[in-house]
Structures are given as C-alpha cells and as structure tokens.
Structure 1
Amino acid sequence: MQRLALSLLLVAGSLPAASPFVGRWDFNITTPGGNRASWLGIQEKNGALEVWFQPTGGNVFKLDEVSQKGNHLTLTVGKATQKGPATTWDLEAAGDKLTGTMKRGETTTALNGVRAPELKRPMPKAWTKPEPLFNGKDLTGWEPIGKPSDSHWVVKDGYLVNEDHGANLKSTRSFDDFKLHFEVNCPDHANSGFYLRGRYELQLESEAVSHNPPERRIGSIYGRIAPEGDLPRKTDVWDSFDVTLVGRTVTVVRNGVTTINAKEIEGITGGALDANEGEPGPFYIQGDHTGGLKFRNITVAVPKR
C-alpha cells in the first residue's frame, strides 16, 4: 500500500502544472471614451493554450498569436493593417487576477482582469407576476446612454420607437435573474439587440440570411449561442420573445418556439456596459446601428422570495 501511495505521488508530481491563465476572465478597461468591457476564455489543448477573445465590440473569436512564458502571456488581439499597427496584450498572472497593458503603436492602456464568476444557481421555484417595464405612454423607466441629444427614442401610438440611428436606451432599474417578455417589429435591413443585464446581447435583425452566421442571427446570444430551428423571417411583423436568465443559463422562446434551451452563456458579448458579471444589470436596447424598430409589451418577472 505504501509503495502504491508513493507511486501515485511520483506520478502526480510529474504531471505539468496547469497554466495560471486557464479560465474565463473579465476585464473593465478605462479609455478616454469611458469604460469598455472585454473577456478572455483560455483553455489548454494539446499542450498549448487556446485563447478566445471578446473585444469591446463585435463577436468573440479565437486568437492565432499566443505566447506564454511562465506567468507572462502575450496576445495579438488585433493584427496590423494598412490603417495602423497591431494591438497586443501583455499579461501577468497572480492568483485570480491578470494585470498588464494593451499596446497599439505609441498608445498604452492598463489592463486588469478577474476570474469570471461561475454563476451556477438553481432555477427558482416561483416567479413574481410580470410587471410592465414600458408604460406605452412615455419613457418613464428608461434613459438614453450617452448624450440625450443623440437619442431618437420616442413613444408613438403606444409603441417604443427608435426613429433613427442614435443613442442606445437602458432601463433605470437593474435585474439579476428574470423572465423577460417583449415584442419587436423590425423593418427591412434592421440590426439591433436587446441586452440582458447590460452584458449579453440577444440579437435582433432582419438582414439577408447570408449576411450573418447562425450565432449572429435574430434570436442568438450574439456570437455565443445560435438559435435552433429555422423560423420564418418576416419584416414589419411582431416577433415575441420570452427570455429566462438564471445565472449564466438562458432559455429563449421566439413566437412560442423554444430556440435556445437552457444553454450556458460563457461570457459577455460585444457592447457590454461592463464586465461585472456577478452583479445585477439593466436591460438595454441598441439604437446606434439602425432606426425604425418598434417595441411593445415589455414585462419582467423576478424570483419570488
């Protein structure tokens, strides 16, 4: 028995230690334009690090240029082009934090990342009665993000309408776990999104099917989770969405059909207000892509206590 125990210890001691960078990491980045949120998902595969990067805008993607030396990691997150130099991240690992710098040419920005919370929670046993978040009369409970003068959000005929490309709109209240319902009418060639906790975009669009891959089409968690099934795509009609988010587990029902069934959202999506995944957050609707979208019957229920 003692020899067996010694053998097991020797085998365990010979195994390479896991990289200190493995895991999911949330970054709040301070820039001259305000706070920006980013994310890294890192795992070991075939003796090397596989790194997925969520920039502050756009979709998550796998990085090609990754170099680790001990507790130091260098990433090329944006390749050099005719318009400018490459963007690199240099990071040091220490426990549950990553610190370092982002460099692009002569510009250097501080980076501070923390391990993303697991957010594993059981489904609530009961929910409150849904309450309206939009009263159909005015913008009470909602406010533009950024300059109010850039906002084109109005209430017309009882609908919440974004008349033109402009400011995003967020709820004044924040939520943790919830059941959300809303109905949306998209004109042709529209592109928008309804953000959950201000960090996870439920994509809304009426572009040509060939314009976006499945994980960036209507009803997706943008760049993260593609909807299942092939529901008809029609413009200038009302689509209903029922979204349940508990921790990281999301279920999406579109027009009565479950298109995402209890899937895990790995991390934030582009356009997130912040990377504080363990905290409640507001809903927000994109208004900076296209105008013309209309919303109605926006309601929310929360776990009953």
Structure 2
Amino acid sequence: MKRSTSTVLAFVTFTVIGSCASAQDDPKATEQWEPVPRVVTPGAKDHAPPSDAVVLFDGRDLAGWEASKDHSPARWKVHDGVVTVDKTSGNIQTRRRFRDYQLHLEWQIPKDITGEGQGRGNSGLFLASTGPGDEGYEIQIMDSFENKTYVNGQAASIYKQAAPLVNAARRPGEWQTYDVVWTAPVFAADGSVKSPAYVTLFHNGVLVQNHTELAGETFYIGKPKYKAYADAPIKLQAHGDHSQPISFRNIWVRPLD
C-alpha cells in the first residue's frame, strides 16, 4: 500500500518525539560508564600523602632538594622529623620540575619569635621557581597572628598581588598547613601568555585564595609580569630578616598534568 508523504512525515515525527520522551524519562540515558577514574588511596590521615603523591620531604633527608643558586645539595638542617631554614645556605628547590599540581606543606614559626611586620618570621613558597634568587610565583609565609603588615604581604597572600580572603594564621609555635592547587601559565611560541596562572589555597583548612588569577611573577619592587617557562621546581625561601628561622615538615605533591 502506498503511503502519502504526510503520513510518512507524521510517522517519523512521532518516532523522534517518542524517542526523545523516552530518553528524558530514562535515567540511564545520562549515565556515563567510561573512562573509569583510576584508583588513588587516600593517606591514613588528612595530612598524609595519597598513593599517587611525590613525597618531597618525609622527615629524613633532603635528597629531593638542591640549592637554588648553584644546584648543589640542599644544606638546611634536618632534625626531629623537620627541616629548618639555614639562611647562610640560601633558597632551596626541588630537583624535580613540575607544571600543574596539588601541594601539601606544613610550616612552623618559632614560639619565641621576635620582631614585627615583615621581619617576624619570613619565608616563602615559590610555586614555580624561574631563577636562582627570588624569581617565581610566591605565596607568603610569615607570622600573621596579631602582627600587622601590608595585606598583600601577610601569610597566605600571593606576595604583592592578592591578599588572602581571611587571616587564618595560628599562634607562633603551632604547626600550620598550606594546601595548594597550582595551575601553571601557558605561553605561546613567541612567549606571550595564552592563559594566566591560577592559585587556590587553603590555610589551616580555610579557603584563602579562590582560583586567584596571577598577573605574573613576584617582584619586591615593581609590578608583576610574566616570563615564559615550560616547567619549574618548587622553591622554599631563606629570607634575610633577623628573626628565628622557620621549620617545615610533611611536604608532598601530586602532579596534575
């Protein structure tokens, strides 16, 4: 039997509408089964490294670190499961280089710290070290418990760029944590910025930088600016102030690229 064109169109339209209605009513239509995420075993405690982490400091030695100025072995003092800044040795950085990552780091200001402002327990976490000195992208480390200074230079600030959302500092002598998600900048072949760097930071479990966009590298004098790089070490600063040195422990990183 010969069907009219209008009959065929009506049949097709009814079939399509029926299929759409069926898909909308079927919860399985929006289920995704592949690819299956790989298994990562969390640490036994919240601060412990998960199974896919690269442990940068485990309390025993600085085998994974080097002096930033000349790439010689790092000479900060390792004792009692922690490492303490040695200002005479300068900054240290990881031997391994990274791009995007998740980082956990714990730090402690001495209980009997003296001084004020920027001279009261000063160090820095450089998320990407692009030179032997203080070049790179810095999160400030210092005593910000009842210690006034410029807000884009207090603890958990992106130094000279972005103040933390809140001040979550603990008292000197207590251990503090940084949990960082670092999204490295991407550069074009000519060195121009294709996409900027971003930082998310939790200080002692409190969100203090929420996917903050960086304007470039850290500078003590002058505005931040970008310099093209592919990958870079993570650096800890030996600041030149006269206060007692800061200690670190339990440092691990999960590469995300």
**TM superposition score normalised by structure 1:** 0.53
Question: For residues 210 and 167 of structure 1, what CA distance do their matches in structure 2 show?
Answer: 25
8 Å CA contact retained: 1:191, 1:207:
no
Q: Deviation at 1:294?
A: 0.8
Q: Deviation at 1:131?
A: 2.2
Question: For residues 209 and 166 of structure 1, what CA distance do their matches in structure 2 show?
Answer: 30
Task: Give the structure with the higher percent strand.
Answer: 1
Percentage of pairs with the same residue: 30
Cα deviations by residue, 1:48-93 (Å, 9 ceiling, x for unpaired): xxxxxxxxxxxxxxxxxxxxxxxxxxxxxxxxxxxxxxxxxxxxxx
Q: Deviation at 1:208?
A: 7.2
Match of 2:167 in 1: 230
Which of 120, 132, 137 is the matching residue for 2:55? Answer: 132
Which of 179, 193, 197 is the matching residue for 2:124? Answer: 193
- Spell out structure 1 runs of 4+ moving beyond 3 A: 125-128, 163-166, 207-211, 274-278
Question: For residues 230 and 158 of structure 1, what CA distance do their matches in structure 2 show?
Answer: 28
Question: For residues 172 and 302 of structure 1, what CA distance do their matches in structure 2 show?
Answer: 14
Cα deviations by residue, 1:262-292 (Å, 9 ceiling, x for unpaired): 1101100027xx9644421111111132452
**1:141 equivalenced with 2:64 (yes/no):** yes
Match of 1:218 in 2: 155
Structure 1 residues without counterparts, runs of 5 or longer: 1-124
Question: For residues 201 and 164 of structure 1, what CA distance do their matches in structure 2 show?
Answer: 18
Aligned-partner SS, 1:203: strand
Aligned-partner SS, 2:165: coil
- Please, what is the CA RMSD of the aligned residues? 2.8
**1:292 equivalenced with 2:222 (yes/no):** no
Task: Give the structure with the higher percent helix.
Answer: 2
If asked which structure has higher relative contact order (CA below 8 Å, sep 6+), I would say 2
Match of 1:303 in 2: 256
Question: For residues 278 and 179 of structure 1, what CA distance do their matches in structure 2 show?
Answer: 19
What one-letter code is carried by the residue in structure 1 that aligns with 2:237? Q
* Superposed counterparts of 1:1-305, under 5 Å: 129-146=52-69, 153-187=76-110, 188=113, 189-198=120-129, 199-206=136-143, 211-247=148-184, 248-270=197-219, 276-290=227-241, 291-303=244-256
Aligned-partner SS, 1:236: coil
Question: For residues 179 and 217 of structure 2, what CA distance do their matches in structure 1 show?
Answer: 20
What one-letter code is carried by the residue in structure 2 that aligns with 1:260? Q
8 Å CA contact retained: 1:130, 1:301:
yes
**TM superposition score normalised by structure 2:** 0.62
